[in-house]
């Protein structure tokens, strides 16, 4: 079996999440990679060990990853492949379901575990349950959650590159512009790192002590319901049951006791750090790394450690 993996790129490099998708795809068969962008992207893809061939989409529509030409291209290429795979992300979620429809296939998004060529595990209800599904489609279209597969190395491979173009079709959509998020805080629900504060921050003024740490880490700032209720920060900071559900790579809970309402909103984070002066706080039961300390002492120490050389 051969698997087609759609790789996503940023600033000429293949995103790490896409390299995780390569790892996932290698469990299913040989891997061919499909990339858009300029020649440097195709060259980067060719260096990923395990990629046997790189297909480089060179038409104008594909340049901006527009769904219409890219889905048509994937559908046109799919005949040679048993599976089409990509890392869960905005591009794949935009394009792959459209391609699946063209192939008369029901896509399988957000796979966290591949059981065999037909069977996959994926979260439903925002991670409240895990469903094992078996597909009866001849061809499978799936996206995988990057956090559940180790990324393939960026270097070491040497695959051949072949140019491909989307089939001729009327131009339905046009790229207008892209506005990259500025250096300001990332959005809470899509940030790679989240720093959250709880009642332990004591007041609105102290809550701002999280800013320097978040700045250093490029992190979004969240809060527990207790902190929101106490008026330290507005509602839209809230992580948990009635607030946002986040699953960043790193979640740092500062002065948060860990009420189940809060845990429900962040327990799928890859790595959880808890800083609390109460060693009995429930947050430590889910934290990968716990630091029992007065947060007002710990915060500047962490900043200092971050500033020091590795």
69 binds other proteins, rule: CB under 8 A: no
In the complex, minimum distance from the CB of residue 52 to other proteins, in angstroms, rounded to a whole number: 27
Which residues, at least 6 apart from 32, have a Cβ–Cβ distance to it below 8 Å?
Answer: 2, 3, 4, 5, 51, 52, 53, 54, 55, 81
What is the footprint of other proteins within residues 25-54 (CB under 8 A)? none
Q: Is 29 annotated as a binding residue?
A: no
What is the footprint of other proteins within residues 157-176 (CB under 8 A)? 169, 172-176
Torsion angle in degrees (nearest 10) through CA of 130, 132, 137, 138: 120
Distance of CA 216 to the CA centre of its chain: 21
Backbone phi, then psi, for 216, in 5-degree steps?
A: -65, -35
212 binds other proteins, rule: CB under 8 A: no
67 binds other proteins, rule: CB under 8 A: yes
Q: Answer for the pair 33, 100: CB distance below 8 angstroms, yes or no.
A: no
Q: Answer for the pair 143, 111: CB distance below 8 angstroms, yes or no.
A: yes
> Pattern of binders to other proteins over 235-254, x per CB under 8 A?
x--x--xx------xx----
178 binds other proteins, rule: CB under 8 A: yes
Q: Answer for the pair 107, 141: CB distance below 8 angstroms, yes or no.
A: yes
Stretch that binds other proteins, among 50-58, 76-84, 152-160, 297-305 (CB under 8 A): 297-305
In the complex, minimum distance from the CB of residue 221 to other proteins, in angstroms, rounded to a whole number: 16
- Among residues 153, 267, 277, 296, which is the contact residue for other proteins, using CB under 8 A? 267
Nearer to other proteins, 159 or 269 (CB): 269
Neighbours of 12 (CB within 10 A): 12
- Among residues 7, 41, 193, 223, which is the contact residue for other proteins, using CB under 8 A? 193
The Cα-based distances of 34 to 57, 79, 207 in angstroms read 7, 14, 45
Distance CA 144, CA 88 (A): 5
Q: Is 257 annotated as a binding residue?
A: yes
Q: Is 262 annotated as a binding residue?
A: yes
- Among residues 6, 114, 214, 228, which is the contact residue for other proteins, using CB under 8 A? 228
Q: Is 185 annotated as a binding residue?
A: no
Q: Is 106 annotated as a binding residue?
A: no
What is the footprint of other proteins within residues 98-157 (CB under 8 A)? 98-102, 104-110, 119, 123-137
60 binds other proteins, rule: CB under 8 A: no
Nearer to other proteins, 32 or 98 (CB): 98
Distance CA 50, CA 32 (A): 9
302 binds other proteins, rule: CB under 8 A: yes
What would you report as the CA-atom Rg of the chain, rounded to the nearest whole angstrom?
22
What sign has the CA pseudo-torsion 247, 251, 253, 258?
A: positive
Residues annotated within a binding site for FAD: 199, 224-225, 238-242, 255-262, 276
Residues annotated within a binding site: 199, 224-225, 238-242, 255-262, 276
């Amino acid at each position: 079996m051969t698997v087609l993996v759609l790789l996503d790129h940023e600033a000429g490099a293949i995103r790490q999440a896409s390299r995780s998708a390569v790892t996932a795809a290698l469990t299913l068969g040989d891997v061919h990679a499909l990339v858009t962008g300029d020649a440097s992207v195709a060259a980067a893809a060719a260096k990923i060990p395990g990629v046997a061939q790189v297909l480089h989409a060179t038409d104008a529509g594909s340049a901006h990853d527009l769904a219409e030409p890219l889905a048509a291209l994937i559908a046109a290429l799919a005949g040679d492949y048993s599976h089409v795979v990509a890392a869960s992300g905005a591009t794949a979620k935009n394009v792959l379901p459209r391609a699946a429809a063209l192939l008369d296939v029901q896509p399988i998004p957000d796979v966290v575990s591949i059981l065999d060529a037909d069977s996959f595990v994926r979260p439903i209800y925002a991670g409240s349950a895990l469903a094992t599904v078996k597909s009866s489609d001849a061809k499978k279209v799936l996206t995988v959650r990057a956090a559940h597969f180790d990324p393939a190395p960026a270097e070491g491979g040497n695959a051949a590159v072949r140019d491909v173009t989307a089939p001729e079709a009327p131009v339905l959509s046009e790229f207008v512009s892209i506005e990259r998020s500025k250096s300001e805080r990332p959005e809470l629900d899509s940030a790679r790192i989240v720093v959250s504060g709880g009642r332990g921050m004591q007041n609105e003024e102290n809550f701002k002590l999280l800013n320097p740490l978040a700045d250093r880490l490029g992190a979004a700032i969240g809060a527990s319901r207790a902190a929101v209720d106490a008026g330290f920060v507005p509602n839209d900071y809230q992580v948990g049951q009635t607030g946002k559900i986040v699953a960043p790579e790193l979640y740092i809970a500062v002065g948060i006791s860990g009420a189940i309402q809060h845990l429900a909103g962040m327990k799928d984070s890859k790595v959880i750090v808890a800083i609390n002066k109460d060693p009995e706080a429930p947050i430590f039961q889910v934290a990968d790394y716990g630091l029992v300390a007065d947060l007002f002492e710990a915060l500047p120490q962490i900043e200092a450690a971050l500033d020091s050389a590795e």
